[in-house]
């Protein structure tokens, strides 16, 4: 995808395992991937069912893990929701959520979906590792 995107990210089941109202264990590579996306200029919006104290806990947990969101449960930071005039649907380019059809892919795959031209791809990385090990294996085997 070209240019900076606005990306809505769910919390429970997406960034952390489902333990609501508690905060579950981090899902592997969630924070690393989200920080990398921010470093690329993408705006991340926390889009979660949580509210009140549980929402504050989630935002603080993310902050302690180096992740500050552009907005929380809104399309932009200054948005004031008026249910008489506004839709609950937010204005974003992508949603990352465990409730997608097919569930939540691994975070490495999510990163590559957003950055399909970034190298190396998983296949290239595996090929590279295999090629790097061949000389070592030959040396160990005395060939």
Task: Give the C-alpha separation, 126 to 80, whole Å.
Answer: 48
pLDDT for res 89: 81
**10-residue mean pLDDT series, the chain (143 residues):** 88 97 96 95 96 96 97 87 75 95 93 84 62 56 57
Q: Is the backbone peptide bond immediately before 120 cis, with ω within 30 degrees of 0?
A: yes
Task: Give the C-alpha separation, 15 to 69, whole Å.
Answer: 13
- Residue 45 · residue 6 · CB < 8 Å: yes
What's this model's pTM, rounded to 2 decimal places?
0.78
pLDDT for res 38: 95
Structural domains for the chain: 6-117 (3.40.50.1000)
* Phi, psi of 81, rounded to the nearest 5 degrees: -75, 130
């Amino acid at each position: 995808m070209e240019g900076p995107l606005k990306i809505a990210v769910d919390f429970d089941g997406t960034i952390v395992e489902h333990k609501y109202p508690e905060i579950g264990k981090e899902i592997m590579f969630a924070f690393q991937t989200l920080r990398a996306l921010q470093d690329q200029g993408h705006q991340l919006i926390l889009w979660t069912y949580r509210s009140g104290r549980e929402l504050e806990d989630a935002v603080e947990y993310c902050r302690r893990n180096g992740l500050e969101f552009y907005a929380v449960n809104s399309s932009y930071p200054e948005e004031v929701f008026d249910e008489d005039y506004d839709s609950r649907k937010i204005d974003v380019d992508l949603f990352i959520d465990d409730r997608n059809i097919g569930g939540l892919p691994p975070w490495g795959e999510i990163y590559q979906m957003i950055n399909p031209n970034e190298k190396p791809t998983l296949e290239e990385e595996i090929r590279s590792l295999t090629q790097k090990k061949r000389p070592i294996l030959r040396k160990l085997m005395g060939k």
